[in-house]
């Protein structure tokens, strides 16, 4: 299996998994880059997976239906392009010979889902849309801090070697914020240097891994004393992990 991050818009990634003949794509916000990637490799599109309803994740679905030889999967709790197979956390389906597990991860939107592949491309794969980013997490457009914190903690319990396939190239901006939260975290310094080299070479910083994220992503580290202390220094109640998360998310929303 081959995993490819297809750039779209200014900072989106449409993820494609293929076996050399057939492919599935996750969150095709626009069709043109997907069509180009499929044509370059002579691949047949056999599935589309959608994590949530935002336009930059579903905008290309209708155009791709003309070449699609298979279903569209999307979250049951959200309005996404029809027809589709509606999924909820706990559902499983098989495509490309791989077993895909659906995880409920509300927070960014109310019905956001993620897709986890325990055995894919040599490592477990997580397609998390706008819930988890490298060094950060999604904004709370529809859900609550409690929901998002719970969703992130559920993802954090997946195997450490899981490859984290986020939907946006936000890593460098997220790491700048993470260093403001944990200025003495050497993992941040080293990873930021690598990410800067990647971007300078025109390469993505993704996929990350959960092992990496657990070492440097402040939104997965709300239990760490330095992270909690940084949240309390903002002058807000940060007496438990959810309140620490809420303080961090509000801080990040205004961070320059």
Catalytic (active-site) positions:
52, 54, 56-57, 108, 130, 168
- Note the residue count of the chain: 256
- Report the candidate in 55, 53, 57 with the shortest Cα–Cα distance to residue 25: 57
Is residue 127 within 8 A of residue 165, CB to CB? The reply is: yes
CA distances from 233 to 23, 140, 169, 191 (A): 48, 22, 29, 25
User: Can the peptide bond before residue 83 be classed as cis, meaning omega within 30 degrees of 0?
Assistant: yes
Nearest to 173 by CA among 198, 207, 196: 196
Encode 134-168: b = buried (16+ Cβ within 10 Å), e = exposed: bbbbbebebbebebbbbbbbebbebeeebbbbbbb
- Tell how strand 98-104 and strand 2-8 pair up: unpaired
Q: Name beta bridge partners: 103.
A: 114
Read off the tokens for 125.
């794969």
């Amino acid at each position: 299996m081959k995993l490819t991050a297809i750039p779209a818009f200014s900072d989106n990634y449409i993820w494609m998994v293929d076996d050399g003949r057939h492919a599935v794509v996750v969150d095709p916000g626009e069709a043109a880059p997907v069509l180009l990637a499929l044509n370059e490799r002579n691949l047949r599109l056999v599935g589309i997976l959608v994590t949530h309803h935002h336009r930059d994740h579903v905008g290309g679905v209708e155009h791709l239906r003309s070449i699609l030889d298979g279903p569209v999967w999307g979250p049951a709790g959200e309005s996404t392009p029809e027809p589709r197979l509606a999924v909820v956390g706990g559902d499983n389906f098989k495509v490309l010979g791989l077993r895909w597990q659906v995880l409920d991860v509300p927070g960014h939107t109310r019905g956001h889902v993620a897709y986890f592949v325990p055995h894919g491309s040599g490592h477990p794969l997580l397609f998390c849309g706008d819930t988890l980013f490298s060094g950060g997490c999604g904004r709370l457009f529809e859900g609550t801090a409690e929901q998002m914190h719970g969703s992130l903690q559920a993802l954090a319990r997946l195997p450490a070697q899981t490859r984290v396939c986020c939907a946006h190239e936000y890593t460098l901006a997220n790491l700048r914020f993470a260093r403001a939260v944990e200025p003495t975290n050497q993992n941040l310094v080293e990873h930021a240097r690598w990410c800067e080299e990647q971007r300078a070479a025109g390469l993505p910083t993704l996929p990350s891994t959960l092992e990496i994220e657990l070492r440097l992503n402040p939104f997965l580290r709300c239990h760490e004393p330095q992270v909690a202390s940084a949240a309390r220094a903002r002058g807000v109640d940060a007496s438990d992990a959810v309140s620490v998360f809420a303080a961090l998310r509000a801080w990040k929303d205004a961070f320059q």
